[in-house]
Structures are given as C-alpha cells and as structure tokens.
Amino acid sequence: MIQRERVADNVFSFQSDIYAQVTAGAVIGPNWAVVIDTLALPEETLAIRDFIEQELNVPVRYVIISHYHADHAWGTYFFPGATVIGHSLCREWLLERGVPSLESSRRHSQVFRNLKIVPPHITIGDGQLTLRVGKKNMSIFSLPGHSADNVAVLVEEDRVLFSGDACMPLPYIVDGNIDDMVLSLKQVSKLGLENIVQGHGDIILRGEIEGYTKDNLAYLSQIRKAVRKAGRRKYPMDILDEVTVESCGKSRVLIGGLAEQLHRRNLIALYTQMYGVVPESSYDDDDYYDDEEVEPE
C-alpha cells in the first residue's frame, strides 16, 4: 500500500501506491521521531505511524506539514501526542478552507468519518526554524510556488531535502504562483543536495538534480510562452487546447498518469492569473470546465 525507502541513516521516505504517488518522510532520533507530511488516506498515515512507533519503537513528537492541501496535511489527527509545525498561512488555510472541505468530503465518503483537522501548533512565517533530532539539524523554510504556504525541510547533515510540492515531476501552480515557483526551483538547484524527496513521485538523486530543475524550469517557460501566444487570440482556449503536456517537454505518464490533466489546469490557471479572465473558447461550451474532481494537491 505504501513504499518505504531508507534515504540516509535514520531518514525514511514513504510513497503512496494509491493516490498520485504522494510522499511523506520521517527522521528518527534516539528518543523520538519527526514525521514530515502525512498521506492522503488514513490507513496510509497509520501505516507510517505503526512503522515508527511499533517497529522502530520511538514516539512521534513532531509532525511538520509542507502545506495545507488534503493529501499532505489531513493526517496530523493520527498523531495526537505530537506538536504540529507548518507555515502560518498553512494554519490559516487549514481552518478556513480545510475544515469546510473535510465536511464536504464526509458527505461523499466514509473514509474521513473519524478525522478532524489539526492545524499547526507552531507556525513559521518566511523565516527559518531549526529542529535538532539526535545529531541531525532539520531546517524548515518557506519554498513557495505550488502554494504560498509551502515549506521545505532540509536534513542538513545528509543534504536531503523534503521539498513539499515545490518539487513535483510536473510543476503544478494552480493554487500558487509561477514566478515564486521559478525562484524556488533555482534555490533548490543551489542547495548542494544528495536527494530530493518530492511531494509526489520518486526520489531525485544527486546526479539527476541539475537536469531535473532545468527540465522543470523549461516546462514553466513553455507554458508561459503558450499562454502569451493564446493571449493574442480572440479565442485563447482554442490555442491552449492544442498545447499538450508533451509539447511542453513532459511525459503524460507522470504522477500516476495525471500529468495531462494537471497540465491543462496549469494552462487555464496561468492564463487566468495573467489576464484576469478565464480563456474563452470558440465552442462556447459551458460544460468545458466541469472536469472531474481528481485533485492531487
């Protein structure tokens, strides 16, 4: 159900087999552990907790959440003894948007029936917070773009970065900002990393990091170009319809096959952010935007 990988001594990552290859992590100290993000389904988060508390036999004392989206943040409820850490906006948005969103999910599904939103107890703004676990320093800092509240966690001694959704196989900016995403990717490329544990998808190894950040920056520049071209037309959506994920340099099989769908949303969101209106189509089909609610956030 979840894949577990040992990234460095006492540093683990977990990846969901069920939902959009979403990831989480853990750093294990001699007396207690830190969890970084929770997974989309309660049973997956419970599997992480059991591994740490039953197999490794240490309690989870802190849970750091990278951002407020459900697939990363809703599982804090399963660590009642832990202190939750996140960005101040993450706390605000979990309360403002997460609580009603959970209520509506409960109406459709039994999966979240026992769950409550537990927002961060300790919040950071745009500064940095360092947490010492055993002999390791974990530095937590803002890394926006996917969302304004995204934070990353760097395990300094191991040069392992848990990036949250600032790093994904396909950059996803629908709830964020493309300029922030560009700055964050450039920042990541300069950190001298051994590994990046992306918010979704596989671990990026040291030798792949340069190419990876370059590819993601190239994708962002391609979609910006496409949106500008569309912006000069009467029916911009007709142009955007023809801009496939492959034509922007990315494969459609990424993120469990969701790449094309996420790409379409990126184009529409970027157009809307740049021009202040949704792109119009000559087909004038009112149902056009009613796509299915499959949201890897």
Query: How many Å apart are CA 86 and CA 149, to the nearest integer?
Result: 8
Judged by CB under 5 A, does residue 165 bind Zn ion?
A: yes
Residue 297 is a binding residue for Zn ion (CB under 5 A): yes
Piece of the chain touching Zn ion by CB under 5 A; list 26-34, 65-73, 248-256, 261-269: 65-73
Q: Which range in 2-10, 63-71, 210-218, 257-265 contacts Zn ion by CB under 5 A? A: 63-71
Interacting residue with Zn ion among 28, 39, 69, 180 (CB under 5 A): 69
CB of 39 to Zn ion, least distance (A): 13
**For Zn ion, which residue has the nearest CB?**
69
Shortest Å distance, C-beta 165 to Zn ion: 4
Residue (of 242, 230, 238, 241) closest to 272 by Cα position: 230
**Residue 279 or residue 296: which is nearer to Zn ion going by CB?**
296
Complex with Zn ion: residue 69 or 250, whichever CB lies closer? 69
Smallest distance from the beta carbon of 86 to Zn ion, in angstroms? Answer: 13
Q: Is 44 in the site for Zn ion (CB under 5 A)?
A: no
Residues touching Zn ion, count (CB under 5 A): 3
What the block records as the tokens of 153 is 């966690």
Roughly how many angstroms between the first and final C-alpha of the chain, as a whole number?
20
In angstroms, rounded to a whole number, what is the distance separating the alpha carbons of residues 125 and 88?
Answer: 6
Q: CB of 118: closest distance to Zn ion in angstroms?
A: 18
Please identify, using beta-carbon distances, which residue of 165 and 180 lies nearer to Zn ion: 165
Return the number of the residue (145 or 236) whose C-beta is nearest Zn ion. Answer: 145
Show the tokens assigned to 107: 């109406």
Nearer to Zn ion, 49 or 69 (CB): 69
Segment interacting with Zn ion, rule: CB under 5 A, options 42-50, 157-165, 230-238, 244-252 = 157-165
* Cβ at position 64, least distance to Zn ion in Å: 15
149 makes contact with Zn ion (CB under 5 A)? no
Stretch that binds Zn ion, among 19-27, 67-75, 237-245, 284-292 (CB under 5 A): 67-75
Please state whether 193 falls in left (phi above 0), alpha (psi between -120 and 50) or beta: beta
Comparison of 158 and 297: residue with beta carbon closer to Zn ion: 297
Q: How far is the CB of 125 from Zn ion (least distance, A)?
A: 20
Contact 143, 152 (CB under 8 A): yes
Q: How far is the CB of 22 from Zn ion (least distance, A)?
A: 9
Segment near Zn ion (CB under 5 A), from 106-114, 128-136, 242-250, 289-297?
289-297
Nearer to Zn ion among residue 10 and residue 266 (C-beta): 266
Tell me, what amino acid is at 261? Q
Cα gap 278→280, rounded to integer Å: 6
Which stretches of the chain bind Zn ion, using CB under 5 A? 69, 165, 297
